[in-house]
Structure 1
């Protein structure tokens, strides 16, 4: 043969296929299948004397050399290994302090190349606008009838991205009002004009009306010798306690001393869950157990923070549905009695139309049940489970639109570092693609 390559040499080294022996056998005129030491045919059976048996594993009740528990101790629910402590330095940098890079979108460039061609553009290449929306050459002003087909397509697209129907309708009405009567340049597609107007509207909505800089406000409160108080509110099961711990971790990275206040005195296991996070982050926690008035517990926690020098108090509250009158009254009392610096609504990115109902009713109840003539409402939004929604990012738009409050934090994973800022450009790009 004379074609022994690297792979065959490797095989010969392992004793599986020796080329030199085969060549010697050929020169002697002996068939290769006669020597079982060289090649074993497919039909032959292995020698029972050389049969390799699998060695049984011996399990010991207390293995010393192997670690059998590979569970991640970061995300706790109060039922984990109580002896494991996760130090904050082991987790890395919070995503809040990392800049997110957005890739350039080439879809618009591809659509622009199609404008001016004599042939009819392919609907599949046009993206989500139908090929029926052609340019209007020489038309003086846009009329509502001209805009309706493009706006209808845009509304449907927003709703597929989980934007609440009534908000998508209002946005389209706003865009129509801004474009009606406007002159359209020649060879400009109505779809492009509508999309540009909608993009401006979305950026305007998602951009915070007022700046909330927590780190700056924390230092301002420190100069006044009082702790900065944040109250986390929201419906059941959205992840308030877990994301409260993520915010605590981010503050710790900025050398801010934090204390947790366990004011969820209703749900079984809530205090233990927060206690687990506090132990893993190695920060103090104020707790009074269950069946206590959460407003009083929060007040005592703030007093304790002032005594021990904690700069920030993160108040965990019980999850409650927006229609639960007794629990909403208790929440209103907590906010009125303690006058926190920030009221954060924690909501899921998974919700669609329900986001509008939750936020609007929370604000309405806080206003109706407050004893103050100027009641405190929701100041900001923490959006959880953002990593589970793919391109269905409409809940962020719905929440901001209905409340006027900015999305301050976005939870996007299962560790303490998985908390980031809302990237407005990325959200708008996803909504319109």
Structure 2
């Protein structure tokens, strides 16, 4: 058989299984049938692989607090379950993991599915408290009252509020709170040709794989756009990269952490806006509030068309021209690199494409880590247009035009001077 998008595979000791549960009775004949966690001491050796178009996700979700939780593996931040023939929330049709968790093509698909579920007839006429008694029942070991209270607190409303009365911005707050409460522990994101994929699984992958990108385009291709981008850290102080998306401390569901790009710069190095835009959120630097992970000023900004954004932190000396609502030009000073004792000084910058535009668009993190390192090291004064396709495809630097002026996609070159 050939694996399909959305399939999941259990693997242990050259054995594979497509069952929702680990086949303990077969793999570990002496295990206690009444103890679902009895793997005869071999639990750490068992992995779950999930097939996605742009990656093979790997984790150990059966092990408490180990890498690769079900929410992360399945791109299912709300841990939504389903049954064959059930409603379409954007999941891979007919694909289920343990506990009937739905499996989604992208994290954004899973995030939007939360709203689709809560706006369905199953929930829209329920109060927030009633909704979470249904969404996270106590019979499954949850605390639905505490869950409902945390969501209502995030919204600043009563738990008696009807779910169907929430507007889109309030629903987005609820979605974010649900994905926070449910939690997601990142695992390994493997390329299709990775040597870390067992032969027993790689032999079942279709030759050539699938084209990377969303199976279902959200908007028309004509909505694609370009934004001029330049290096954010002054070349005089740039040092090196300290980790990109998914590396080091860049874990979690929030795009501004998960897609962080740590661009090294000596303390006091000027940091500039990488593109034209406007400030949407700003937290000034308060040294008394600095911790080992969260320190320095925080700036959120979006492009003028509200279809992409950035988050910058570990800054100090932010000028008065930076405030919520301020227009910012590419190359404008945002502050300087702040150094925390014990941490190599760097700018933490994350980018996101907003498919459909803000508010209400789909937030999809962007990985341009190597591009920015090449830009800083090879051509810091270069201005490069970045093409955003608005269909879920990764954005790309535009390095050339045809004679007719039609943009061509190109692979990111080895260096920005190529």
Higher helix share: 1
* Greater relative CO, 1 or 2 (CA 8 Å, sep 6+): 1
Indicate the TM-score class for this superposition, using the shorter chain for normalisation: under 0.3
Higher strand share: 2
Asked which structure has the greater CA Rg, the reply is: 1
- TM-score, reference length from structure 2: 0.24
